[in-house]
Structure 1
Amino acid sequence: MTSYFNELFEYTHHFNDKVITLLFTLEDVPERSQKLLCHTINAHEIWIARIEKRTPSTGVWDTRPLETLKTINDKNYSDTLHILENFDINEKVSYVNSQGAAFVNTVGEILLHAGNHSTYHRGQIATDCKEHGIEPLVTDYIFYKRQSL
């Protein structure tokens, strides 16, 4: 199961990085795209903090400068790999969400959610880019796998 999560987050890191690069090269970044990208990176960081039983250093909808997102994405990836090496994916994690409600999920459930969450919002960013006349990136998992063959 760990190899599955390693691959999921390699893919997530790769295409988050590509989206960051795309938006950074634009003269006029669509506001919604930047907000969604920050949200995606922030949420991943928050889930890592919850697993590691730390207080998150950011809010889920905080806006950060695009030039900082690559470094944060890289750290999220390395922190996720650390979790995969040092935590049991069946370990239960108690946490409080951003609305103050308490929940318990396993490390594996949280990681699957974090990966799916990133994919979902990259799709929204692609739609937003297209609506602003920007050629969106193809970030589908199968496309990623075809590139690596």
Structure 2
Amino acid sequence: MELRDRVNTALKRAMKDKDAARLSTLRLINAAIKDRDIALRGQGGEQGIGDDEVLGILGKMVKQRQESARVYEEGGRLDLAEREIAETEVIIEFLPKQLSDDEVQAAIAAAVEKTGATSIRDMGKVMGALKADYTGQMDFGAAGAMIKERLAKQG
């Protein structure tokens, strides 16, 4: 089932269950997807975005909420932090299983091998290969640091 369909099915279920918090988060997800669809249409794209882009949107939404929750906790607004965490949990349901650190290291090693990367200058190639294969499954910010470390040792 397409990711967009899974979100819509969950949205309908939340409406039937009268789960206001979950419904609100699912509507935010749908709005983000539709915004991206509209932007794509403006560039001449007739069809909506694919699952890879939806995964990217969901990953970005999770990061935003985690950061907001951290800021709210530091500011003593635990009620708002809890709401952000609850939204994060709903969004994460639609993301693929996150890779462990060992799996990320193995994926980086494979991407370095696949792209023939030999120095930090090749970091973009490696990151592109990882994003093509692992969108939504890893934190690319953390992976970037691991790639730099690996390529610095090689170079």
TM-score normalised by the chain length of structure 2: 0.28
- Which structure shows the bigger proportion of residues in strand conformation? 1
Structure scoring higher RCO (CA < 8 A, sep ≥ 6) equals 1
Bigger fraction of residues in helix: 2
